[in-house]
Chain A
Amino acid sequence: SPNSSVTEIEHLTQNVLKSYRETCQLRLEDLQLLRLETFSWEEVRSYQKKSMEEMWERCACRITEAIQYVVEFAKRMGGFMELCQNDQIVLLKAGAMEVVLVRMCRAFNSENRTVFFEGKYAGPELFKSLGCNELINSIFDFAHSLCSLHFSENEIALFTALVLINSSRPWLQEKDKVERLQNNLELAFKHMLRKTHRESILAKLPPKGKLRSLCYQHMEKLRSFRQMYPIIVHAVFPPLYKELFS
């Protein structure tokens, strides 16, 4: 780029990798070690017998925890805090859940189609009482497809930075500033892939519309749940979750 020096891009790369390492919530080594810890049949049954309200609240809490780490990732990432606060909020509102969905592939075991949830690995059937089988299956399919790319931790770091810093989000006030950061992150990502001979994954990355569609489906399901249980959502759901999704 005529506007960014190699040193600037290298500095941004190191900064994103460090921010990610500090905020990845669960260490990859621990997630790998726990891969054989799957919920027993009895445990799955006990989750399936929970009320829809309880299961929704649990999942809302787990999503909120994951999002708090994404907010922290954004804050530590070079350039993000230099954006105006309107744009920080626009980018997080639109992108935090998308980043959580990408991060989920680290906690996903493609071999038996399970994901790490509340201490053990769970298949899609554990989430039955949510009443969102189609959405859950779509999320599992998405994680499965991402796993086939065999992302390294560094690749996830830069890819999720790019999911977040997206200048095409509506309502940005300083679009040019976001665009410049996005361009530098794209350079950083491509430079890293070139160095590691991994440029072939560029053509296999999920289209932006796929993540957007999963997030939209999640918000639609929340809307239906809220119509059925407005008081539960109002009284017990985490405030950050409500702020982002309702």
Chain B
Amino acid sequence: QEKHRILHKLLQNGNS
């Protein structure tokens, strides 16, 4: 999970 930190963050954020 740590390896894909940014993708995780983008996927967890609501629609922008």
Contact = CB atoms under 8 A, between A and B. Distances in A.
Interface of A: 68, 71-72, 75-76, 81, 85, 88-89, 92-93, 239-240, 243-244
A85 B5 CA distance: 12
Contacts of B10: 68, 71, 75, 240
Majority secondary structure, B binding face: helix
Interface of B: 3-8, 10-11, 15-16
17 contacts: A68-B10, A71-B7, A72-B16, A75-B10, A85-B11, A88-B11, A89-B4, A89-B7, A89-B8, A92-B7, A93-B7, A240-B7, A243-B3, A243-B4, A243-B6, A243-B7, A244-B7
B6 to A, nearest CB: 5
Given A75-B10, A85-B8, 17 more contacts: A71-B7, A71-B10, A71-B11, A75-B11, A89-B4, A89-B7, A89-B8, A89-B11, A93-B4, A93-B7, A239-B5, A240-B6, A240-B7, A240-B10, A243-B3, A243-B4, A244-B7
B1 to A, nearest CB: 8
Contacts of A244: 7
A71 B4 CA distance: 13
A81 B11 CA distance: 8
Contacts of B8: 85, 89
A181 to B, nearest CB: 16
Contact of A75 (B3, B4, B15): B15
Closest 3 A-B residue pairs measured CB to CB?
Answer: A240-B6, A71-B10, A243-B6
Nearest to B7: A89
B2 to A, nearest CB: 10
B15 A239 contact: no
